[in-house]
């Protein structure tokens, strides 16, 4: 289930395409099931909990035509192969070319001639040749009633309606082509890495992400030629930016990128930008240092860039990099130049490619704040790849949930499944906190709690584990004894009017609200929501243990200390407080040293 190959069959006659359903699909599933290479790849990770292997299921999509037979076809979930039937007119192949850019296709089948080809050209053969030239990993097949072209390989041609004994069927030829596709080193490594990283998906949206990642890996991942110096030349550092919410699997996708490149024999080296809190530490960690460059630098160190060699270096959580460190990476991201700490006179050239991962929300806030120079952003965002959040992929929610249930069932020695209402409830959840990580936590908590009492997890079992870190107590604020009366707008003084206008401006900038809506939100907060909270805050400051209330500057510091402690540290508090984790760490270090 982890890797889903896409197969395309294109023709100008919808009756030919319709005739493939369901016979061709059933025979294809059978042929792939008995194929050692294809069957193992398609089932890699399927039933990872040790459950019996099921048959292969084929999903069908039609493009450019409809029919009752196609509408009546229903595939079983989860599907392992996706077949696209594409009707093309005039041999233009517009829809086919669009699909090739959207999904990772393994095999493309085309008719040889199309009814309105100009001058009787063999448009199908020209299209197959084009596909294999642009996408060398895709296997092309001709399926035609006309004779095989002389220069076309016999094992990639199927004669329509051929009843000759021993003649291979279209399904058998497609299955063999899929085996050849899997024999391509980049494809084999890519599909293995999907299973190794535990990536489970069913949606076309995430399939598009994988297809784009594979194409970028082939574009950026060419290993630099050995033995050729780079002195005197400038080259852009191959750099990919993975942009997604927390828990969307950015680090796993970086591993897939590394596997699909020609650099996979060299290491994938990971540097957590969350730990690179100052310029010295960044240069020493990434670029290395010379003996004596700083206190305790007793030996020369090569740095992670040199360790990566011709491989890939992953700068994880790049959005947490301190602003002061951006200047150091400016030249490195531009052309791969860097120098070790303590030897500024020597300029080195990186042989690696770079992958940067950023969390969408914090990265967007840093861009809007203007703290990152535009020249730096131009180098970082040269080739961005956006990862869709889990809530936009309900098919993936169900697939991941059922896979997790099987895995945890095996770990606890039980056999548990999800009810339909549990799947429906999960698919309706936003998973805005940490996407797949949040889904995993909910499944694990419910399984550990209820696996001894039931073999079917319902929504009632799962629902209590959503929100507030899976059921941990919420912070409550005591209600005010007497609400503060709302001050009429006519009695506002100049400061009150100015601060209310400033609050509207703050809301407009910080939440992207329209000015009218920001004004309404401000009035609700200032006149209804916040006034009852003031007595509770004053009562908290006036603790009985002290003679006088805690001063407001001290109270503000105490509140920030409490907030970071409540969330468990600077990193989990970053999103709630809207303050970068590195800034919070620096604030804590400054207060501790005073």
Please write the tens of the pLDDT for every residue from 405-423: 999 999 999 999 999 999 9
The band of 469, judged by pLDDT with boundaries at 50, 70 and 90, is very low
Full-prediction pTM beyond 0.75? Answer: yes
Partners of residue 592 on adjacent β-strands: none
Partners of residue 60 on adjacent β-strands: 83
Residue 194 pLDDT: 95
- Residues 56 and 175: their CA atoms lie apart, in Å, by 13
- Any idea which fold 190-224+235-386 has? Rossmann fold (3.40.50)
Answer yes or no: same fold for 190-224+235-386 and 395-471: no
Residue 62 pLDDT: 96
Task: Decide if pLDDT at 50 tops 50.
Answer: no
Cis peptide, bond prior to residue 313, ω within 30 of zero = no
Class of domain 395-471: mainly alpha
Task: Decide if pLDDT at 454 tops 80.
Answer: yes
Q: Which of these, 241, 273, 274, 235, lies nearest to 257 by C-alpha position?
A: 241
Task: Decide if pLDDT at 486 tops 60.
Answer: no
Show me where the domains of the chain are located.
Answer: 6-183, 190-224+235-386, 395-471, 489-593
Phi, psi of 504 (to 5 degrees): -65, -45
Helix (H) / strand (E) element for 9: namely strand 6-11
H-only helix segments in 221-266:
250-260
Task: Decide if pLDDT at 101 tops 90.
Answer: yes
* Residue 178 backbone zone (phi > 0: left; psi -120 to 50: alpha; other: beta): alpha
Q: Give ∠ CA 543-547-550 in degrees, rounded to 5.
A: 55
* Token representation of residue 17: 């395409």
The band of 127, judged by pLDDT with boundaries at 50, 70 and 90, is very high
**Are 546 and 495 a contacting pair, CB within 8 Å?**
no
- Residues 246 and 248: their CA atoms lie apart, in Å, by 6
From the number of C-beta atoms within 10 Å of its C-beta (0-12, 13-18, 19+), residue 114 rates as: buried
**What's the N-to-C CA distance of the chain in angstroms?**
56
Residue 481 pLDDT: 40
Residue 184 pLDDT: 95
* Token representation of residue 302: 């090569």
**Are 174 and 5 a contacting pair, CB within 8 Å?**
no
Helix (H) / strand (E) element for 313: namely strand 312-316
Residue 472 pLDDT: 39
Question: What percentage of the chain has pLDDT greater than the value 70?
Answer: 89
Residues near 560 by Cβ (< 8 Å), separated by ≥ 6? 577, 587
Residue 544 pLDDT: 72
Phi, psi of 2 (to 5 degrees): -65, -40
Give the rounded distance of the alpha carbon of 84 from its chain centre.
Answer: 24
From the number of C-beta atoms within 10 Å of its C-beta (0-12, 13-18, 19+), residue 128 rates as: buried
Residue 550 pLDDT: 83
**Are 64 and 99 a contacting pair, CB within 8 Å?**
no
- Residues 102 and 105: their CA atoms lie apart, in Å, by 9
- Return the number of other C-beta atoms located less than 10 Å from residue 163's C-beta: 6
Residue 433 pLDDT: 82
What is the Cα gyration radius of the chain? Answer: 30
- Residues 566 and 572: their CA atoms lie apart, in Å, by 9
Q: Which of these, 81, 85, 80, lies nearest to 96 by C-alpha position?
A: 85
The band of 224, judged by pLDDT with boundaries at 50, 70 and 90, is low
* Sign of the CA dihedral with 282 first, then 283, 287, and 293 last: negative
- Residues 331 and 354: their CA atoms lie apart, in Å, by 13
Averaged pLDDT for residues 237-250: 94
Tell me the pLDDT tens digit for each residue of 296-305.
666 778 889 9
Q: What is the four-CA torsion angle of 27, 33, 34, 37, rounded to 10 degrees?
A: 120
Tell me the pLDDT tens digit for each residue of 183-219.
999 999 999 999 999 999 999 999 999 999 999 999 8
- Residues 432 and 429: their CA atoms lie apart, in Å, by 8
Does CATH place domain 6-183 in 3.90.550.10? no
* Token representation of residue 88: 């093309």
- Residues 188 and 486: their CA atoms lie apart, in Å, by 68
The band of 459, judged by pLDDT with boundaries at 50, 70 and 90, is very high
Tokens 């997790």, residue? 404
Task: Decide if pLDDT at 476 tops 60.
Answer: no
DSSP string, 86-97: EE-STT--HHHH
Residue 478 pLDDT: 41
DSSP string, 15-39: HHHHTTTTHHHHHHHHHHHH-HHHH
Averaged pLDDT for residues 335-353: 83
Averaged pLDDT for residues 94-123: 84
Helix (H) / strand (E) element for 133: namely helix 123-134
**Are 224 and 351 a contacting pair, CB within 8 Å?**
yes
* Token representation of residue 132: 């294999």
């Amino acid at each position: 289930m982890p890797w889903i190959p896409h197969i395309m069959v294109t023709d100008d006659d919808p009756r030919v395409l319709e005739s493939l359903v369901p016979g061709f699909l059933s025979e294809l599933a059978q042929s792939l099931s008995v194929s050692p290479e294809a069957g193992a790849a398609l089932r890699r990770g399927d039933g990872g909990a040790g459950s019996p292997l099921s048959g292969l299921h084929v999903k069908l999509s039609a493009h450019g035509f409809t029919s009752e037979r196609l509408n009546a076809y229903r595939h079983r979930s989860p599907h392992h192969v996706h077949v696209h039937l594409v009707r093309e007119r005039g041999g233009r192949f517009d829809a086919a070319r669009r699909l090739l850019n959207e999904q990772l296709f393994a095999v493309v089948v085309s008719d040889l001639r199309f009814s309105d080809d100009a001058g009787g050209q063999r448009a199908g053969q020209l299209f197959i040749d084009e596909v294999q030239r642009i996408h060398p990993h895709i296997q092309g097949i001709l399926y035609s009633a006309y004779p095989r072209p002389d220069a076309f390989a016999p094992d990639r041609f199927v004669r329509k309606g051929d009843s000759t004994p021993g003649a291979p069927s279209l399904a058998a030829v497609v299955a063999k082509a899929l085996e050849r596709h899997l024999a391509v080193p980049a494809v084999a490594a890519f599909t293995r890495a999907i299973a190794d990283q535990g990536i489970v998906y069913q949606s076309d949206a995430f399939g598009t992400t994988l297809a784009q990642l594979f194409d970028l890996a082939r574009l950026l991942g060419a290993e630099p030629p050995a033995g050729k110096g780079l002195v005197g030349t400038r080259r852009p550092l191959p750099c990919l930016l993975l942009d997604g919410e927390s828990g969307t699997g950015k680090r796993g996708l970086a591993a897939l990128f590394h596997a699909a490149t020609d650099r996979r024999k060299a290491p994938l080296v990971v540097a957590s930008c969350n730990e690179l809190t100052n310029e010295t530490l960044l240069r020493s960690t990434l670029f290395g240092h010379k003996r004596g460059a700083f206190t305790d630098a007793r030996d020369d160190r090569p740095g992670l860039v040199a360790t990566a060699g011709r491989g890939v270096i992953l700068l994880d959580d790049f959005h947490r990099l301190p602003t002061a460190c951006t200047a150091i990476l400016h030249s490195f991201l531009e052309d791969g130049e860097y120098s070790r700490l303590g030897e500024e006179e020597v300029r080195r050239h990186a042989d690696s490619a770079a992958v940067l991962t950023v969390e969408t929300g914090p990265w967007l806030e840093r861009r809007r704040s203007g703290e990152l120079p535009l020249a730096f952003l131009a180098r970082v965002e040269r080739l961005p790849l956006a990862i869709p959040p889990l809530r936009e992929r309900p098919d993936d929610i169900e697939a991941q949930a059922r896979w997790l249930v099987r895995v945890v069932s095996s770990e606890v020695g039980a056999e548990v499944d999800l009810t339909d209402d549990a799947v429906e409830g999960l698919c309706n959840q936003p998973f805005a906190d940490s996407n797949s990580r949040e889904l995993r936590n909910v499944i694990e908590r419910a399984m550990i709690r209820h696996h001894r009492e039931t073999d079917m997890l319902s929504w009632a079992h799962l629902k209590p584990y959503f929100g507030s870190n899976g059921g941990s107590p919420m912070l409550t604020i005591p209600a005010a004894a007497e609400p503060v009366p709302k001050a009429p707008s006519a009695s506002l003084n100049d400061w009150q009017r100015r601060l209310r206008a400033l609050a509207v401006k703050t809301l407009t900038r910080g939440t992207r609200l329209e000015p009218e809506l920001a004004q309404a939100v401000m009035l609700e907060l200032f006149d209804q929501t916040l006034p009852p909270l003031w007595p509770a805050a004053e009562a908290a400051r006036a603790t009985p243990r002290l003679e006088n209330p805690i001063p407001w500057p001290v109270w503000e510091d105490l509140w920030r200390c409490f907030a970071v402690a409540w969330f468990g540290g600077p990193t989990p508090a970053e999103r709630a407080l809207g303050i970068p984790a590195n800034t919070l760490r620096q604030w804590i270090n400054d207060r501790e040293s005073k």
